[in-house]
Structure 1
Amino acid sequence: MESFANIFFMFFITFTNIKLCLSDYDNIQDNCPAISPKMQTIFINGLPCKSSANITAQDFRTSELSNPGSTDIFGAAIKIVTAAEFPGLNTLGLAIGRIDIDEDGLVNFHYHPRATEIIFVTKGVLLAGFIDTKNQVFQEFLSVGDVFVFPKGLFHFILNHGFQDATFVSVFNSQNPGLVSITATTFGNTLESLEKVKKKLISLSAYEVHDNAILTMPRLESIFS
């Protein structure tokens, strides 16, 4: 009985001292530029490191964001660069993105399961917002130089609210943030259905938005009904 009590005590101590990690694990060396995934022969949670003899300054520089990505049906071109494309990011718990939005376009409702996202506006006027677990929407108008943050795992959207194309840069606190879009998981990607969602999302901008606005809106699923 005493041995059982000791085992239970050790079990309790072990599991009550587990610390939750809110981002990717810290690296345990100065750097670890990634080997190309095409050269990877075994699966690991991340990417293997190059030999230190083969690391160069080029591993820590990228031009991946010099051009926009492909534009989707909502008028948004989303390009996220991870360690797979930018070797120097490997083990640093970071990814970076560039998003270009056509006039009247939007980045549809989506979330990143493994990362908080911070955006920095470099061109245009945006309406950015996210919905918390109490079904409240937090939204703000943003202009060049403004920064906005989307908490990890919460649905968010960005509307181009100006009269020109808009661009912003995103930074994520994960080297593989992931992206889950409502569009891909709730209904077919037909022009008719996507245009319906776009109109409902744009209607959110009809709210009178004040500084630090907190608004209650219909449940998220009603937007897609």
Structure 2
Amino acid sequence: MFLVVFTRIKTCLADCENLQDSCPAVPPKKQTIFINGLPCKNPGNITAQDFKTSELSEAGSTDNIFCSSMNIVSASEFPGLNTLGLSIGRGDIDEDGLIAPHYHPRATEMIFVTKGELVVGFVDTKNQIFQKFICAGDVFVFPKGLFHFILNRGFEDATFFSVFNSQNPGLGSFTAATPFDNTVESLEKLKRRLISLSASETHNFKDLTLSGMENIYI
């Protein structure tokens, strides 16, 4: 009796693993049932093209107030990622541009810089800020669910690529959660604040809390 119960408990607690080699997604527009993920294509219709994408081959438009772009490609656009627990992304930032503080509720993000020089940082749940100056060839990781930012402090445009350990990372916007009015003045205040934090090399900034993130503008 004990053995049966123990076996059932282990079965319930086991991680769910793929039951086949791959499961390229059916395009969401053709989806007829809704599950926690995307349904698989008919195995007989799977091709090598399902495992290739050119979505990140071109730089995104930086014609916006932040002078930056971030393109995240998930299983919806890249069928071969379905069930693998991965998404990928590309960021392009003009000189003095910014990817504003944001977080991904379902994924850790790891970035690899291919061009330029960046200041990157995140704030943990103890209100400590961890930031670093990185350049081409460097890798930096943003833990799951923590606010992070990427600022171009070099003298040229910058490019980086991201990997997320979820096929649907999600996005929580800093600017949506604070009284950011999308003006040049507000953006410059934000960048000056981030630059001052980076220059100080501090690892304990008490005002940068999730409930009071607006203090970054002071």
Q: What's the offset of the Cα at 1:44?
A: 1.3
8 A Cα contact 2:105 2:145, kept in partner: yes
Q: What's the offset of the Cα at 1:73?
A: 1.9
Q: What residue number does 2:41 align with? A: 50
8 A Cα contact 2:65 2:182, kept in partner: no
Structure 1: stretches of 5+ with no match in the other structure: 1-9
**AA at the equivalent of 2:20:** Q
Q: What residue number does 2:179 align with? A: 187
Give the whole-Å Cα distance in 2 for the aligned partners of 1:80 and 1:171.
9
Give the whole-Å Cα distance in 2 for the aligned partners of 1:135 and 1:18.
36
Paired residues for 1:10-49 under 5 Å: 19=13, 26-49=17-40
Q: What's the offset of the Cα at 1:19?
A: 4.8
Secondary structure class of the residue paired with 1:148: strand
Asked if 1:66 is matched to 2:69, the reply is no
Query: Cα distance 1:69–1:47, how it changes in 2: closer, same or farther (>3 A)?
Result: same
Query: Cα distance 1:205–1:66, how it changes in 2: closer, same or farther (>3 A)?
Result: same
Structure 2: stretches of 5+ with no match in the other structure: none
Secondary structure class of the residue paired with 1:140: strand
**TM-score, normalised relative to structure 2:** 0.86
**AA at the equivalent of 1:62:** T
Q: What residue number does 1:223 align with? A: 216
Q: Which moved more, 1:194-203 or 1:117-126?
A: 194-203
Secondary structure class of the residue paired with 2:66: coil
Paired residues for 1:1-225 under 5 Å: 19=13, 26-71=17-62, 72-191=64-183, 192-207=185-200, 209=201, 215-220=203-208, 221=213, 222-224=215-217
Query: What CA RMSD, in Å, does the superposition of the two structures yield over aligned residues?
Result: 2.2
Give the whole-Å Cα distance in 1 for the aligned partners of 2:120 and 2:12.
36
Say how many residue pairs are matched: 205
Q: What residue number does 1:5 align with? A: none
Q: Deviations over 1:107-133 (max 9, x none)?
A: 111110000010001000111111111
